[in-house]
Amino acid sequence: MEVHDYLKTLCPDLHITRGEYDEEMRYPETKTLTIGQFKLGLCHGHQVIPWGDLDSLAMLQRQLDVDILVTGHTHQFTAYKHEGGVVINPGSATGAYSSITYDVNPSFVLMDIDGLRVVVYVYELIDGEVKVDKIDFKKTTTASH
Amino acid sequence: MISDVAEDEEKWLAAGIAGLQQNAFYMHRALDSNNLRDALKYSAQMLSELRTSKLSPHKYYELYMRAFDELRKLEMFFKEEARRGCSIIDLYELVQHAGNILPRLYLLCTVGSVYIKSKEAPAKDVLKDLVEMCRGIQHPLRGLFLRSYLSQVSRDKLPDIGSEYEGDADTVTDAVEFVLQNFTEMNKLWVRMQHQGPARDKEKREKERSELRDLVGKNLHVLSQIEGIDLDMYKDGVLPRVLEQVVNCKDELAQFYLMDCIIQVFPDEYHLQTLDVLLGACPLLEPSVDIKTVLSQLMERLSNYAASSTEVLPEFLQVEAFSKLSNAIGKVIEAQVDMPTVGVVTLYSSLLTFTLHVHPDRLDYADQVLGSCVKKLSGKGKITDSKATKQIVALLSAPLEKYNDIVTALKLSNYPHVMEYLDNETNKVMSTVIIQSIMKNKTCISTSDKVEALFELVKGLVKDLDGTLHDEIDEDDFKEEQNSVSRLIQMLYNEDPVEMFKVICTVKKHILTGGPKRLPFTVPPLVFSCLKLVRQLQGQEENPFGDETSTTPKKIFQLLNQTIEALSIVPAPELSLQLYLQCAEAANDCDLEPVAYEFFTQAYILYEEEISDSKAQVTAIHLIIGTLQRMHVFGVENRDTLTHKATGYSAKLLKKPDQCRAVYACSHLFWVDDQENMKDGERVLLCLKRALRIANAAQQMTNATRGSTGSVTLFVEILNKYLYFFEKGNPQITISTIQGLIELITTEMQSDSTTPDPAADAFFASTLRYIQFQKQKGGAVGEKYEPIKV
């Protein structure tokens, strides 16, 4: 609840899907929403096996019919583009322990959605310094949705 | 009754003012026509209004101020006269002919002011004369105002060093003498007020006296402004005289006010050097005087003085300020046996603040203060007075704020003893303060003995203290409390694995006393601390010659097992299962097959026996499959057993769609990409086929119960899995398998009895798009996908 309230102070428009340690049972397993020209999907990712497997995540993306799939669980930042869209894992904001990833660096992602273009800014805390990287994605209009 | 009196007072005041103004008018007329005799006559009449006994101090003051203003104009006239050659001495003589003594003395002081300015006589002589003459008024209220007037007109005319009225040597002494005498007489008058009138009006009198106190205190202020007074003179001449008056007057109101005044008006430097004398006066005061406030004020001033500059610190050491104050406080507490607890604690709190400022490096002094406080509190049991409790929290918070470091505060041996006196609620409050201090300063508590001490301090949060009634605690508050304990656990760290393990053991010992409500909060952070330590040790070679006591992953896993087991009393099966699986994976990374298997066994037992909620089962099963899929440490037999069980659980989930999804997830258990011997294409296909059967059954069920076939989503999901393994090169997945499923789905979707489902349609469409895309990729992939018709 504390973390939830804190996040709300950052932005009142908050969307949450359930992680395996969340005590709040009412968070949904998946969620979709539209921002600008993009359809986004959210899923924590412990439900998608194998964990972190991009092909399996791409399947979920097709199922949710979204351009951008935001997922987690591995505490490892990844941004993956394939013909169906983009899969983004922002990693762990706190650098929490993960059985999947060794040496977790705290990281988070900001997405700037503008028209048919999305710019992904990833912020990582490596050895006490904040490093920022940028990745561009353009949505092709051939997609029927 | 009272409003009548107030009304009457208003009337008298109005009458007094009217009389005063009328005489003033005539006085001015006389002054304008240079008629000195008439001017004096009317001014005396005007001043007669001040002879009244009918006004309260507040109202009298109003009358006095008007008279004061008029006297200023009279003084200017006298000055003019003196300039024009009129003899001041004669004037001084002349005004003494006024009929009543009070007007006479006001006029005398006024002339006296001009007399001193004219320098026709030494200031000291005139001043001496005036201060003695004022003895003629013994009525407290009138006397106070008269002497106040004398003080006001003489302020700028004292024979101070560097003043124009400086006479021969020792004139400062004269100035001091004058002020001290005025002060002494004023204080006597002021005290006398206490005994005037009937006993029932005592409160009213005290209030009135309170309104007048600044008149008396002003004299001390004047003293502090005299430049010629140096430390020696203050020590030998001024302070002893003032204190003598303070002690001898034996009046509670005066003593309290004047002690405070002394502390406020004179420089801190002086206080330091006269600490003995100042403190020596304290036990001589009336027992009812709030001496603790006085002492606290003194200590606060001295603390601020110490804080202002490090250069003054040696002075403190030189005069042994700490021990003097410490003793004084002890004596006061002893003398005032009825002093309430809040008083005792406030004193020690002020002393501690003082100590922290003046002797920041002397932890032993700080500890001594805490120790003295404990001694004085002993026998009182837990403190219930809320004001006292607040003071104890302030006392305990002071070292935390000063040192910014709980580790230093932990070195104060008496610190936990003080905490013993807090009631349970406040103990928790204090514990939270401590934890917040750690959070804010990011203090790293790194050794097991420090952790032990810390957990002793915050035990109010860690476990139920005697006498706590659990049902009183607000849910949200409790959660917040426990969250802060969890965060605390995460802050404990030591690079050295051996010490870190000791820390972990200490924490475990404490949290296991927490009871079922606390364990779900405290166990997870400890578990993850352990897992982090395991990972740290993983990199190191296991020492074959290591003795029984060395820290190894195996040892840590044992501790983990015990810790997670403790959750069974909550009970928290889902959480325990998750934690067991985390441990299993960690054991896998350490190549400890039996340990990993044991953790899996525990998880499975929980699943079978404790987790019955269907939603929880779905999550649990995904975690089991996900973890198992990543295991590489198991030999064939163990792996088979666990896999078989997992698939069995999957097939037995309550809802068909859940079953279907879990079963096809199990297909990944038979295919691990980076291990060649782990690719069992047949069993993958078996899983997928089984999933398909379940999906079919689901369709039939929906048909039977709702009269229409449900969504084809499950089929599309399975199709995607077929494609997944097809791409990975599973020979069992053939084009015809895929094609068949595509056709099945297409048929289903076109069938009339199927409920339209746009989501499923979109999913199928994007799947087909994917196949097209792969075909267009060309190369090996394109070739593979070519035969599939969409």
Instruction: Say how far apart CA B556 and CA B562 lie, in whole Å.
Output: 10
Contacts of A17 (CB under 8 A, 6+ apart): A27, A28, A29, A30, A31, A42, A43, A44
Nearest by CB to residue B619, choosing from A20, A50, A99, is: A20
Instruction: Say how far apart CA B499 and CA B504 lie, in whole Å.
Output: 9
Nearest by CB to residue B763, choosing from A20, A62, A144, is: A62
Q: What's the pLDDT at A84?
A: 80
Do the Cβ atoms of A100 and A74 come closer than 8 Å?
yes
**B401, B397, B231: which is closest to B307 by C-alpha?**
B401
Question: Could you read off the pLDDT of B666-687 as tens digits, one per residue?
Answer: 999 999 887 767 889 999 999 9
Do the Cβ atoms of B213 and B191 come closer than 8 Å?
no
Instruction: Say how far apart CA B358 and CA B310 lie, in whole Å.
Output: 9
ipTM for the complex? Answer: 0.93
Q: Which residue, among A63, A66, A76, A92, would best test binding to B if mutated, counting the most B CBs under 10 Å from its CB?
A: A63
Question: Could you read off the pLDDT of B374-392 as tens digits, one per residue?
Answer: 888 887 777 778 888 888 8
Nearest by CB to residue B626, choosing from A1, A46, A62, is: A46
Q: What's the pLDDT at B410?
A: 85
Q: What's the pLDDT at B380?
A: 75
Q: In this structure, what DSSP letter does residue B670 have?
A: G
Q: Which CA distances in Å does B413 have to B255, B360, B419, B454, B757?
A: 38, 16, 11, 12, 72
Contacts of B214 (CB under 8 A, 6+ apart): none
> Per CB distance under 8 Å, which residues of B are interface residues toward A?
476, 479-480, 483, 524, 528, 531-532, 535, 575, 578, 582, 585-586, 589, 615, 619, 622-623, 625-627, 629-630, 665, 668, 713, 716-717, 720-721, 724, 727, 759, 762-763, 765-767, 769-770, 773
Task: Write out chain A residues lying below 8 Å of B619, CB-based.
Answer: 20, 46-47
* A-B contacts (CB, under 8 Å): 75
Q: What's the pLDDT at B377?
A: 83
Q: Across-strand partners of A70?
A: A42, A88
B532/A97 Cβ within 8 A: yes
Q: What's the pLDDT at A106?
A: 95
Q: What are phi and psi of A38, to 5 degrees?
A: -110, 140
Ranges under pLDDT 50 in chain B: none
Q: Which residue, among A3, A4, A20, A94, would best test binding to B if mutated, counting the most B CBs under 10 Å from its CB?
A: A20
Q: Does residue A144 sit at the B interface (CB-CB below 8 Å)?
A: yes
How do beta strands A68-71 and A85-90 pair? parallel
Contacts of B661 (CB under 8 A, 6+ apart): B691, B714, B717
Q: Does residue A28 sit at the B interface (CB-CB below 8 Å)?
A: no
Q: pTM surpassing 0.95?
A: no
Q: Which CATH superfamily is domain A1-105 in?
A: Metallo-dependent phosphatases (3.60.21.10)
Q: Across-strand partners of B537?
A: none
Contacts of B280 (CB under 8 A, 6+ apart): none
Q: Long-range contacts of range A137-141, CB-CB < 8 Å, 24 or more positions apart?
A: A137/A81, A137/A86, A139/A37, A139/A38, A139/A67, A139/A85, A141/A116
Instruction: Say how far apart CA B39 and CA B31 lie, in whole Å.
Output: 6
A49/B665 Cβ within 8 A: yes
A99/B531 Cβ within 8 A: yes
Task: Write out chain A residues lying below 8 Å of B582, CB-based.
Answer: 99
Shortest distance, CA A34 to any CA of chain B (angstroms): 15
Q: Is residue A80 over pLDDT 50?
A: yes
User: What's the average model confidence in pLDDT over A26-54?
Assistant: 93
| Assigned token pair, B156 | 């700028």
Q: What's the pLDDT at B451?
A: 92
Do the Cβ atoms of A118 and A69 come closer than 8 Å?
no
Residue A36 region by backbone torsions, left for phi larger than 0, else alpha for psi between -120 and 50, else beta: left
Q: Is residue A50 over pLDDT 80?
A: yes
Question: Could you read off the pLDDT of B155-167 as tens digits, one per residue?
Answer: 888 888 777 777 6
B578/A21 Cβ within 8 A: yes
Q: Which CA distances in Å does A36 have to A45, A114, A117?
A: 25, 7, 10
| Assigned token pair, B481 | 């409390």
Residue B107 Cα to chain centre, angstroms:
59
Exposed e or buried b per residue across A116-144, where buried means at least 16 C-beta atoms within 10 angstroms of its C-beta = eebebebbbeeeeeeeeeeeebebeeeee
Q: What are phi and psi of B566, to 5 degrees?
A: -60, -25
Q: Across-strand partners of A34?
A: A39
Q: Does residue A31 sit at the B interface (CB-CB below 8 Å)?
A: no
Residue B353's CB: how many other CB atoms inside 10 A? 24
Nearest by CB to residue B528, choosing from A58, A97, A144, is: A97
Do the Cβ atoms of A104 and A91 come closer than 8 Å?
yes
Q: What's the pLDDT at B251?
A: 92
Would you say the C-alpha torsion B315, B320, B322, B328 has a positive or negative sign? negative
A65/B766 Cβ within 8 A: yes
How do beta strands A68-71 and A38-43 pair? parallel
User: What's the average model confidence in pLDDT over A98-122?
Assistant: 93
pLDDT band at A144; cut points 50, 70, 90? very low
Contacts of A125 (CB under 8 A, 6+ apart): A95, A105, A106, A107, A131
B770/A63 Cβ within 8 A: no
